[in-house]
Structure 1
């Protein structure tokens, strides 16, 4: 039985036409656990990231409110802007390391594919492909040490500007939307909404904000990839990256992964809001006098 020819090298990064196609190709080239590459970094840093984001939003909302009065939409957006700015302290290195770990598997799969094509071309496709020695995939610790050694602390913050351009608009959309959706579950003034209302509000607000800022996430991911595969573009900055994506792949390229991001971020923020519901924000803020969540 004939097997399909491998995709051209230029298509290796974005070869999947859909999430399911990408899933199948990832499992085929890297195995089932290839889907979890970079998960350890997320598990380690996602808790402080969400804690900073939620606590910072509460902090700014508290200081922008006057005598406990309901915040205007503009002030809610300002509080979200402050929260998104604070969280990049953790988000940028977390995303940086996660992307490098995921890229290691992608580039190794591409290298093997190119070696297979070259060998079959040279031998007429009759012989089996000899195994080639490939360096072991790096760990998050090794990547961190290498980046610190070669580029200093700035190495972990490559793509900081792009991360800000994603996370600040995300928080500007997310927090006002969540606050107003969560408010719908208040039975009486001053009471918290039931936990399931906070969960649903977090899911809806998170997925909406994720789709809204997905173009910035696409650009950020490209900028934070330190290594390039065959025929992949290099970028000098955010605008250069956006222009090249638009020119070579069209406007729909900025929506790649939006569906998957919405599916992941919806329950993530729903769960985060439920956990936060028990009063973690007040604890992190030091039980500020007169503080309460709006």
Structure 2
């Protein structure tokens, strides 16, 4: 048998067909590391050598068949994939060689081949094929005819021919359809070419269950329209489910890349004929299914997502992407990392400007409420509450009064929000583990770094903005411009109140970003995907505790930065301001403008983060590092629980072992009973 692996000078096995890119992404585990993992799970020692048993490998290492009443026969069959010596034990060289094989572009077909090559001869015999097939759940539900002409075409009339790997790959691909055809013939007892809807449902729920989503399962009988199912309809239905990824591409072609556009049957059919051999019958079934699921005669991308079975290669690709992202982002060149930061900074600038403009009137009301003093002199109380402030600004200053100071705000908010978002992403990247997880303390630290870094832009921006915002309160006062404020303050004056700004912005970001990240997780769908509205809601949720709990620091900052008028108390610093505000106005004064601050910060950050992540989806550029959270253009794949529960011992190729092995079922329908057969009741004496 031709060797499937080659040994490299680094002491690791690599598949000869494995591309350099895939090998690099998986960042192969060294021999010493693999050996330590192997010895951790190997429970048997023989002639001074350690071995894994089938149970060690399948149940303990891979995490499959964890049930107490697991089927030992199934475990033994699956372990035979890696047990190339076929002695019932797994040696370290076999463990290491299989780790290398998992990197191969055709790893699934090699895995299936080794499952059937029970003797390790490099070819599959009829007896080996029959032995494996008879143990599958499909065969036990609807028996496969091993004496059929299909089998004889591959194994020969006398079934003595051996099938080598490349021919086997075609055989196992065609086997799925042959099994379905045989099942149809069994239900079509009279040979009319038709079966009942109930028979159709039975076949699909047994032989083709791996192709069915819950929505399709619920409509198997209804799709037949109460009529008997013809053989052409049966074949077209299965072909449609097998080609859902192609169907998605046809839809995107018909919708010019939009995932929300409604596509008519005629538009889809025209695109299908231009791109592929999808038949009109398949298109008819597609729209019939869509109508049953969504109650509409037009197709959108979400309909296809509801019908598309999970493909094992998507799981593997997702794992490759995750592994690539967390393996070695720090090993990228300095220029690439700088370009990535510039990219994130640019998107953050646009997002910040959009968010600030959306809520600026609320910010103006908040500032004026916080600057309203009740203990300095009589007659200063201009506003009863935030709503009264809003009405008076509109009445006496007009709509434009709500946007006083917007221009310097936009000039400053772009770098402010950009550096905040960039630093948070950067620090999170550095503190994310190799398993793609980040502890809560690291999230808080990343937020704190982001909040501290923004003050260099925030303080000058806010002191100018605040003085412009309160200028409208001075009746008959001279016109104040941003340039004039900057000249009056000077460079050092622009950083007046910086300590209070640190006191506010660092805790704000420490609270906001972790709450936002966890809110996204809670609001994501079952596949971990956030629709735009959930991003907006998550951003708004994060702003509530962050804005409210840091209001006292914001009040102090505002008092320090606003130019005091005649008769008003002046402050020399953070602690002086805190003491005087408390003695003159009481504890309640520290929470002035809190509602307006929450109503401003919550939607502002919601809009800002929504814009930031949508921009990353539309203009995503892969710099080889971690993909920013929320930048996925479609729902992440729903991996099985075994994949979701990362095992630190799964290194190198073994990090994609579970989805590849599960592909035996999702690609070929080769599922094995998970539970041990129930013992027959004892005969009565």
Answering whether residue 550 of structure 2 is matched by residue 208 of structure 1, we say no
Counterpart contact for 2:543–2:598, Cα < 8 Å: yes
Answering whether residue 418 of structure 2 is matched by residue 51 of structure 1, we say yes
Answering whether residue 488 of structure 2 is matched by residue 146 of structure 1, we say yes
Answering whether residue 243 of structure 2 is matched by residue 243 of structure 1, we say no
Answering whether residue 564 of structure 2 is matched by residue 222 of structure 1, we say no
- Note the C-alpha offset of 1:163: 0.5
Q: Distance in 1 between matches of 2:500 and 2:625?
A: 37
- Note the C-alpha offset of 1:201: 0.3
Aligned partner of 1:3 in structure 2 is none
Aligned partner of 2:534 in structure 1 is 197
- Note the C-alpha offset of 1:9: 7.5
Structure 1: gaps spanning 5 or more residues: 1-6, 113-133
Counterpart contact for 1:159–1:223, Cα < 8 Å: yes
Aligned partner of 1:61 in structure 2 is 428
- Structure number having the greater helix percentage: 1
Aligned partner of 2:493 in structure 1 is 155
Q: Distance in 2 between matches of 1:77 and 1:283?
A: 28
Taking structure 2 as the reference length, the TM-score comes to 0.35
Taking structure 1 as the reference length, the TM-score comes to 0.78
Aligned partner of 2:146 in structure 1 is none
Aligned partner of 1:171 in structure 2 is 509
Aligned partner of 1:125 in structure 2 is none
Residue-pair matches, total: 256
Answering whether residue 519 of structure 2 is matched by residue 181 of structure 1, we say yes
Counterpart contact for 1:77–1:172, Cα < 8 Å: yes
Aligned partner of 1:293 in structure 2 is 628
SS of 1:16's partner is: coil
- Note the C-alpha offset of 1:49: 1.7
Output aligned runs, 1:258-269, within 5 Å: 258-269=594-605
Output aligned runs, 1:48-127, within 5 Å: 48-106=415-473, 108-109=474-475
SS of 2:377's partner is: helix
Counterpart contact for 2:443–2:514, Cα < 8 Å: yes
- Note the C-alpha offset of 1:187: 3.9
Change (3 A) 1:242 1:15: farther
Q: Distance in 2 between matches of 1:38 and 1:184?
A: 37
Counterpart contact for 1:282–1:288, Cα < 8 Å: no
Q: Distance in 2 between matches of 1:147 and 1:245?
A: 24
- Structure with higher Rg: it is 2
Q: Distance in 2 between matches of 1:158 and 1:45?
A: 16
SS of 2:523's partner is: coil
Aligned partner of 2:593 in structure 1 is 257
Counterpart contact for 1:54–1:281, Cα < 8 Å: no
Aligned partner of 1:272 in structure 2 is 608
- Note the C-alpha offset of 1:13: 5.7
Change (3 A) 1:224 1:280: farther
Change (3 A) 1:229 1:73: same
SS of 1:98's partner is: helix
